[in-house]
Structure 1
Amino acid sequence: MAEIRASTVLPARREDITLHTADGLELVGELALPAARPPVATLVCLHPLPTAEGMMDSHVLRKASYRLPALADLAVLRFNTRGTTSARGTSQGEFGEGETERYDVAAALEYTEYHDLPRPWLLGWSFGTELALKWGRDPLVEGLILLSPPLHRASDADLDAWGADGRPVVALVPELDDFLRPAEARERFKRIPQAEVIAVEKAKHLWVGEPYVRIVLNEIVRRVNPAAAPLPTEWDETVK
């Protein structure tokens, strides 16, 4: 058995994908699937702010794709929103301040439907949480998992709509966040009666450090595929 480290990449079926938006853009992405089984659920990842170096390879989302297909039988779909660049390439278009990105969220969900990817959850991080809250109330979506939600672009009306909707909303809020800390988050998220606000001690907005990444991935799996929680910290290297 080998310890799962920050750089560990576990077996999965990985393929480059292209999403097509209703306003005519092509967005680059990647889909990671369990190596030998169909997925039990799907994470559609919405990355942090591209004007602050956020992209599909932002580390928590990248590590989700490296680990969760193997450890939790999840499909992990990552992509660059319009105008965003990563090692995978650059998506067409220009940054839309969270408004025209509505088409990007819709394109990702359309891809999950067309390819029969089961039970999609939106996993947003920072700017990605704003996209999830503003544009994620698609009938396909099972729920939201929000990492470091700043609640800058998402309005009270967006929160009220999710409150009325009733689907699960889980917010992981770092104790030392730069934008929204747990006490204020609990107050803001009262508009969503079913929302869970989970404070993570000593964590910061960017979730730097393997202990915090493990907390995040475990909380994701507890909601999306609880049978796979808690995640192991070691991997049998003979398993391919």
Structure 2
Amino acid sequence: MRINFRFSYQVGKIKAILQAVALVALTSFGTSAYSASKTILVLGDSLSAEYGLVRGEGWVSLLQKKLETEKITAPIVNASISGETTSGGKARLPALLAKHQPAIVVIELGANDALRGLSLAATQENLRSMISSSKGVKAKVLLVGMQIPPNYGGDYTKQFAALFPKLAKENKTSLVPFMLQGVAEKPELFQADRIHPSAEAHPKILNNIWPQLQPLISSSK
């Protein structure tokens, strides 16, 4: 009887140890899962880089405030540069992906390509490459569509606008149809250069982007 008692005691002790180890492992796994990167990387041009604005007035800064207000933990890396083209974004993206390991990549590029009359084929290929690179590291992609005034030529204008929905459909990515919807047709919402939106326009820009971005954030939790 004494031997059986000791044996049962030892078995019980081993079980308790194993349960404790399993609990620690499960806790560690849960912590690891919840601490996975939910970073949002914004790769854009002056429209996202707060050109001509006081810091904190641009749509990216407003997005960060919105996330904080809604208690959503998703740090934002704003890698936007004024004057950036799709070629420049394509060249910079690999290093940004490696450094920040984002869960979501917002691509807001192309306007400067159009303003410079660059090849639509090159713009399309650069955007496609950025989408592919982002998906290659398991990041979700939000492509932000742009349009240009008709004075750049009817065909060029239409083909440029069509690039974004075409690429979104082809690559099965989320799309903001037109970043400046509700802004472009209102001169009073632009700075003196008539190119860059004023601070008053940026809440509207965020409202255009948020409906497509919010589901990506939720699915990344």
Q: Classify the TM-score, shorter chain.
A: 0.3 to 0.5
- Greater share of residues in helix: 2
Taking structure 1 as the reference length, the TM-score comes to 0.43
Bigger Rg, which one? 2
Taking structure 2 as the reference length, the TM-score comes to 0.45
